[in-house]
């Protein structure tokens, strides 16, 4: 059934349809409506779950970790500072191999205080062992919550997933979303039945000490292998989702990239704007396409290499930055394409920090820069107000 709902509402509905059993969450702009929506659904008896109203995001994730270890499906949501506050235990969730799903509304980190969109918050967590997807629509947010459990709960994966959605553009903007029927979701996503859990009838210890000579490094290697398994299972689940629900998602989603010399790349809601810009540019005869990167962890090396074959230049747009170096997407794309025969020239652009708007003109400007013959070799910051005396 199609309804006009916000990204926050989509996230909450995704958790309800996925039958999350324990939710522990703390409010933070712009995610507050997710927790309020869940609280309402629980109060009305529409969602059978225990909602723990924790006192901080660190506690939210800590509660989810222990609840998940007790063998139930868990969900939480946060943004920016809340995500940063739970950083310590994000490592714990992945290290303990718990398939928690979290919606992160991408918001800039202060100071200065900003509630608007930026990807630095989730980019900062890319080392934690969480799978990451970046959504460009409210539909995708809802669908991704359901798919995340299906991938994460596999015995050979058992990793948590962070579903990233741009602040306000998705969280607070209403879009038409096809809300799947509960029965269809139940058939697609069976109940969570882990082999090991906190159980007085089968006692184990979870998370204790491990020595240098054994087995810490092996357990970490096991996690790396789990990500490799995820790389295989994510497209399988995406295909199955398309068969059941009629919507197909991919790790990277190229737009009009056939027979082009140049391709622009970005994540999140800028994709929609970029596609508009691509149409305009192409109507003027420019040979350019756009690719949206959806799955950031595990990083889609194979798919990027396949895309990059035969293009001359790739312009990566970062909505985040790693101070002292460059935008993380730029770095990672370069790394993925290093060593391939005839890789494209890769240029980087930083745009849209702190919620600064990425418009069609912004994308056209980036294309102009990508088209210039010479390039300083450094990532360029777009749209700065740089008047000087």
What Cα–Cα distance (Å) separates residue 197 from each residue in 61, 74, 97? 17, 14, 11
- Quick one: which of 110, 176, 207, 335 contacts another protein (CB under 8 A)? 207
Q: Considering only residues 217 through 236, tell me which ones interact with another protein, judged by CB under 8 A.
A: 218-219, 222, 226
The answer to whether 193 contacts another protein (rule: CB under 8 A) is no
As a whole number of angstroms, the distance between CA 28 and CA 130 comes to 21
Instruction: Tell me how far, at minimum, the Cβ of 77 lies from another protein, in Å.
Output: 16
The answer to whether 25 contacts another protein (rule: CB under 8 A) is no
Closer to another protein at the Cβ: 75 or 262?
Answer: 75
Closer to another protein at the Cβ: 90 or 304?
Answer: 90
Residues 62/64/70/72 CA torsion (nearest 10 deg) = 180
* Torsion sign (Cα): 298, 302, 304, 305: positive
Closer to another protein at the Cβ: 196 or 375?
Answer: 196
Q: Is 285 left (phi over 0), alpha (psi -120 to 50) or beta?
A: left
Closer to another protein at the Cβ: 155 or 384?
Answer: 155
Closer to another protein at the Cβ: 87 or 305?
Answer: 87
Tokens 């035969």 identify what position?
310
The answer to whether 89 contacts another protein (rule: CB under 8 A) is yes
Closer to another protein at the Cβ: 158 or 337?
Answer: 158
- Quick one: which of 8, 21, 106, 132 contacts another protein (CB under 8 A)? 21
Give the range of 172-180, 209-217, 242-250, 296-304 binding another protein by CB under 8 A.
209-217
The pair of three-digit structure tokens given for residue 39, joined into one six-digit string: 């609280």
The pair of three-digit structure tokens given for residue 13, joined into one six-digit string: 């509905």
Q: Considering only residues 54 through 73, tell me which ones interact with another protein, judged by CB under 8 A.
A: 54-56, 58-60, 62-72
The angle subtended at Cα 322 by Cα 319 and Cα 324, nearest 5°, is: 140
- Quick one: which of 45, 111, 112, 205 contacts another protein (CB under 8 A)? 205
For 32, the enclosing helix (H) or strand (E) is: helix 32-43
The answer to whether 204 contacts another protein (rule: CB under 8 A) is yes
Closer to another protein at the Cβ: 20 or 185?
Answer: 20
Inter-residue contact 16 to 38 (CB < 8 Å): yes
* Torsion sign (Cα): 308, 293, 113, 77: negative
Inter-residue contact 117 to 167 (CB < 8 Å): yes
Instruction: Tell me how far, at minimum, the Cβ of 68 lies from another protein, in Å.
Output: 8
Inter-residue contact 57 to 86 (CB < 8 Å): yes
The pair of three-digit structure tokens given for residue 84, joined into one six-digit string: 């940063």
Applying CB under 8 A, the residues found at the interface with another protein are 21-22, 24, 48-50, 52-56, 58-60, 62-72, 74, 88-89, 92, 95-97, 155, 158, 195-196, 198-200, 203-211, 215, 218-219, 222, 226
């Amino acid at each position: 059934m199609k309804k006009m709902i916000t990204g926050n509402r989509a996230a909450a509905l995704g958790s309800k349809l996925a039958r999350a059993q324990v939710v522990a969450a703390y409010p933070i702009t712009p995610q507050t409506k997710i927790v309020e929506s869940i609280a309402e659904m629980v109060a009305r008896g529409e969602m059978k779950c225990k909602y723990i109203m924790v006192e901080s995001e660190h506690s939210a994730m800590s509660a989810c970790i222990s609840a998940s270890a007790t063998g139930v499906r868990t969900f939480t949501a946060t943004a920016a500072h809340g995500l940063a506050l739970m950083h310590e235990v994000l490592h714990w969730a992945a290290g303990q191999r718990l398939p928690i799903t979290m919606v992160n509304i991408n918001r800039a980190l202060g100071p200065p205080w900003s509630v608007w969109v930026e990807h630095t918050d989730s980019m900062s967590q890319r080392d934690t062992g969480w799978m990451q997807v970046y959504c460009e629509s409210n539909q995708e947010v809802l669908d991704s919550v359901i798919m995340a459990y299906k991938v994460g709960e596999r015995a050979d994966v058992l990793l948590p997933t962070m579903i990233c959605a741009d602040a306000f553009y998705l969280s607070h903007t209403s879009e038409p979303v096809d809300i799947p029927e509960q029965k269809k979701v139940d058939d697609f996503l069976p109940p969570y039945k882990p082999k090991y859990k906190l159980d007085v009838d089968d006692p184990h210890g979870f998370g204790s000490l491990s020595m240098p000579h054994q087995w810490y490094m092996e357990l970490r290697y096991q996690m790396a292998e789990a990500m490799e398994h995820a790389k295989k299972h994510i497209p399988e689940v995406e295909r199955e989702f398309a068969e059941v629900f009629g919507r197909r998602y991919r790790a990277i989603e190229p737009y009009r990239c056939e027979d082009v010399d140049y391709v622009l790349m970005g994540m999140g809601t800028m994709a929609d704007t970029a596609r508009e810009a691509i149409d305009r540019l192409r109507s003027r005869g420019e040979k350019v396409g756009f690719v949206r990167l959806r799955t950031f962890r595990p990083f889609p090396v194979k798919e990027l290499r396949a895309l990059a074959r035969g293009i001359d230049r790739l312009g990566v747009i970062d909505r985040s930055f790693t101070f002292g170096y460059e935008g993380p997407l730029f770095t990672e794309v370069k790394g993925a394409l290093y060593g391939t025969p005839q890789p494209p020239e890769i240029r980087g652009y930083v745009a849209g920090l702190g919620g600064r708007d990425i418009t069609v003109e912004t994308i056209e400007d980036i294309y102009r820069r990508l088209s210039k013959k010479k390039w300083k070799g450094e990532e360029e910051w777009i749209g700065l107000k740089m008047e000087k005396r």
